[in-house]
Amino acid sequence: MEMELTSNAEKKCDPLKDDACVSIPPAPKRHKSIVTNFQDIYAFSERGDKTLRINNALIYMICKDNQPFTIVENEGFASLIKVLAPHDKLPSKTTLTRWVDDKYAALSTVFKAKLANIVHVTLTTDMWSETMSMRSFLGITAHFGEGNDIFAITLGVYESNDRHTSEHISDMLLKTCAEWNIDNDKVSAVVTDNAANMVKAVDLAFGKKHIPCFAHTLNLVAQNAIQQCAKLDNQIKRNSDLVQTKQCS
């Protein structure tokens, strides 16, 4: 008995891997027929229905959650897929990259066809900088309706190379619209922040169609009101310093 207890005590288990460490009752085993087994094998073949659904779901997850292509090389992710779909074979990151490019090409063709037939389009655009890398980007989104559906699609995100001039932004707006089959006269309005270069860029590209972003304007009003009240402004700064100190402690 002593030897048995010692042997059991020496056993080590990983609660993340070893099912024996988790008190979950096993699912009852169900025997599949030969026909069902062959159907599963075909479904998980390279062009099988389940394989295609899993691949499309993987592409969607990568794009929706901004996941890196290297996720397919992660041991934990591979283990998850092995449990969910034992017959499925994960693609390499190179293959996954090609799939995402192919999906983008297919969807962009669909939306270019839609935009070619749309009468009115509204654009929103914004420019931002990444603090750590000191790189600036310009994002452009199109908004339009078709029947009872409303669409908002990202036309592009471009690195600005520190060229924040209105002429450069205007040129990027026009090139993007041309690429997506959006005629200039179809653009009903362009919504941006209140920056002078943005306002002028819209005027250069489309004429007097600029609309200031309501949220940005409201934020400016709130900031200005706070700055006019010295006591409130000082209190907010003290609270901010206190939070930063607490986070660093």
Q: What is the pLDDT along the chain (249 residues), one digit of tens a residue?
A: 444 444 444 444 454 455 545 455 555 555 555 545 445 544 445 555 788 889 999 999 999 999 999 999 999 999 999 898 888 889 999 999 999 999 999 999 999 999 999 999 999 999 988 777 778 899 999 999 988 999 999 999 998 876 788 999 999 999 999 999 999 999 999 999 999 999 999 999 999 999 999 888 888 888 888 778 877 777 888 888 788 777 666
**Boundaries of CATH 3.30.420.40 in the chain?**
119-212
Q: Which CATH architecture fits 119-212?
A: 2-Layer Sandwich (3.30)
The percent helix, strand, coil of the chain (3-state, each to 5) is: 55, 15, 25
Q: Is the whole-model pTM more than 0.75?
A: no
What does DSSP assign to residue 26?
Answer: P
What's the order of all strands across the beta sheet hosting 135-146?
A: 149-159, 135-146, 121-130, 187-192, 210-212
SS3 category, 71: helix
